[in-house]
Amino acid sequence: NAGVTQTPKFQVLKTGQSMTLQCAQDMNHNSMYWYRQDPGMGLRLIYYSASEGTTDKGEVPNGYNVSRLNKREFSLRLESAAPSQTSVYFCASMQDPNQPQHFGDGTRLSIL
Amino acid sequence: QKEVEQNSGPLSVPEGAIASLNCTYSDRGSQSFFWYRQYSGKSPELIMFIYSNGDKEDGRFTAQLNKASQYVSLLIRDSQPSDSATYLCAVPPSGTYKYIFGTGTRLKVLA
């Protein structure tokens, strides 16, 4: 049971570089989410997609873009990475708002 | 602004004791309540959910919900050192797809 798969697991970037974090779920869930978690901090919502074809901003969207490629896949793009974006990024999915969210293993991103 | 609040801890309990973790929320319309466990360096893992007032038990874990007072709690009986982790409370506000996560309570079970 794969659940939610995130790639890559680790990445080091230089300031100004761009990259895309990938997320795929095999649970046929409608909604998908991107969070960041800084050391010793809680989860902060970056963007979410309530259903295929829709995306909305969360708490900290600046510097990020997302694409809901299809029902399974939801990607997060950093166009011009900044050291403040060094964090652990989690993707999550859920069937509907009264169901639990299921998380991927995370991507640990360092920006130098 | 919908909120979910937890004490950050650390909450230290001896092995074998009951650990009690609390969470308050602001949206009276919330219908579902979740507890996640997060080990250091790992992703959050769902351990309990509760939808109705009262208690829900699953093994050593009991979730308690009091909608009138707007709090949800998690009891861990016979605490083990392996229970040492951060516990996140999550409450989806009514009418939205955005979960609200508390900042988590760090639990330390002392052997």
Phi, psi of B59 (to 5 degrees): 65, -125
Percentage helix, strand, coil for chain A under 3-state DSSP, each rounded to 5: 5, 50, 45
Phi, psi of B81 (to 5 degrees): -55, -30
Q: Which residue of B has its CA nearest to A48?
A: B98
> What is the predicted pLDDT for the residue at A1?
64
Q: What is the pLDDT of residues B74-105, one digit of tens each?
A: 999 999 999 999 999 999 988 888 889 999 99
Maximum pairwise Cα distance, chain B: 44
CA distance A32 to chain B (A): 10
Interface of A with B in 21-50 (CB under 8 A): 31, 33, 41-43, 45, 48, 50
Q: What is the pLDDT of residues A62-89, one digit of tens each?
A: 999 999 989 999 999 999 999 999 999 9
CB contact set of B82 (below 8 Å; sequence gap of 6+): B109
Contact A77, A13 (CB under 8 A): no
Contact A94, A27 (CB under 8 A): no
Q: How far apart are CA B80 and CA B83, in angstroms?
A: 5
Give, for all 111 residues of chain B, the pLDDT tens digit: 779 999 888 999 999 999 999 999 999 999 999 999 999 999 999 999 999 999 999 999 999 999 999 999 999 999 999 999 999 999 998 888 888 999 999 999 999
